[in-house]
Structure 1
Amino acid sequence: MKNLVLALGIFLVAFSAKAQEKTVTIKVTIENVMNDNGTILTSLHTNETFMKGGGMIDLAEKAKKGSLNFTFENVKPGSYAIMVLHDENDNKRMDFEANGMPKENYGMSNNEMAMGPPTFADAKFEVADEDLELTIRF
């Protein structure tokens, strides 16, 4: 009986800690979408997933000239980066010119556009305990 009470107590403490874990919502506005072709692909990344395929959360929406809004929900505190691709031909990947330059528009959090591939350090932002609103420009 004593072991049952102890196990039940541990379960309740673990359950209440999980229930109190705060998550936030990140609202992202994508600006300067050049046309209505294809799809806008948006991914929330950690350092471990950045530039290695899919993100922690991946979203997609039909492209619309002008701006689009995306919402990442239930995001736990930590360091993240957002990458966005205008996949104009809907092949689910970035296409490149023969010289290695991207054919399709892309962007990332912090709007850092240095020469060469993006880095997590340039794109990262911190999620704490408040909802965020970010703007990414192609």
Structure 2
Amino acid sequence: MRLTVEVGRLKSESGEVTVTVYPSDPSRFLAPRGKLLRLRVPASAPTTEACFNLPKADIYAVAVYHDANGNHDFDRNAVGVPTEGYGFSNDAPSRFGVPSFDSARINVKSGENTIRVRMRYGK
């Protein structure tokens, strides 16, 4: 199974885009050490692409962030508001905190799969 993640609406080409794939266990979504796979790819505005070879056809979820300063951390301000761009599979809403696994879940089938994730930036 191959999953291509196209991350769009990047504001700049600085740093990297970190793309993380989570397995079908909702308790692992966005949890420390919960990831299945992660790639850090050079940012390419307006769209950056990452490709994964997945172990099987299954349900997954994807989270991305634009690590513009390249420090391998998702930076936030003093009150916890993200200062770097981010996004989720299905463009899952995150208006009042992180989205649920169910809102970000995708069905990866045998063969080639492509999803698009829209980068969001704070105001």
Report the TM-score range of the alignment, normalised by the length of the smaller protein. Answer: 0.7 to 0.9
Aligned length: 115
Q: Which has the larger share of helix?
A: 1
Task: Determine the C-alpha separation between the residues in 2 that align with 1:101 and 1:36.
Answer: 22
Task: Determine the C-alpha separation between the residues in 2 that align with 1:68 and 1:114.
Answer: 21
Deviation at 1:71, TM superposition (A): 0.8
Say which of 103, 109, 114 aligns to 2:94: 114
Which residue of structure 2 lines up, in the alignment, with residue 96 of structure 1? 76
Which residue of structure 2 lines up, in the alignment, with residue 86 of structure 1? 66
RMSD: 1.5
Ranges in structure 2 where 5+ consecutive residues have no aligned partner: none
Task: Determine the C-alpha separation between the residues in 1 that align with 2:74 and 2:11.
Answer: 16
**What does residue range 48-67 of structure 1 map to in structure 2 within 5 Å?**
48-54=27-33, 55-67=35-47
Deviation at 1:87, TM superposition (A): 0.8
Q: Quick one: which amino acid aligns to residue 98 of structure 1?
A: A
- Check whether the contact 2:93–2:103 (CA below 8 A) recurs between aligned residues: no
Secondary structure of the 2:76 match is: coil
Ranges in structure 1 where 5+ consecutive residues have no aligned partner: 1-23
TM-score (norm. length: structure 1): 0.76
Q: Quick one: which amino acid aligns to residue 64 of structure 2?
A: V
Percent of residue pairs bearing the same amino acid type: 25
TM-score (norm. length: structure 2): 0.84
After TM superposition, where is structure 1 displaced by more than 3 Å over at least 4 residues in a row? Answer: none
Q: Quick one: which amino acid aligns to residue 35 of structure 1?
A: S
**What does residue range 1-138 of structure 1 map to in structure 2 within 5 Å?**
24-46=1-23, 47-54=26-33, 55-115=35-95, 116-138=97-119
Bigger radius of gyration, 1 or 2? 1
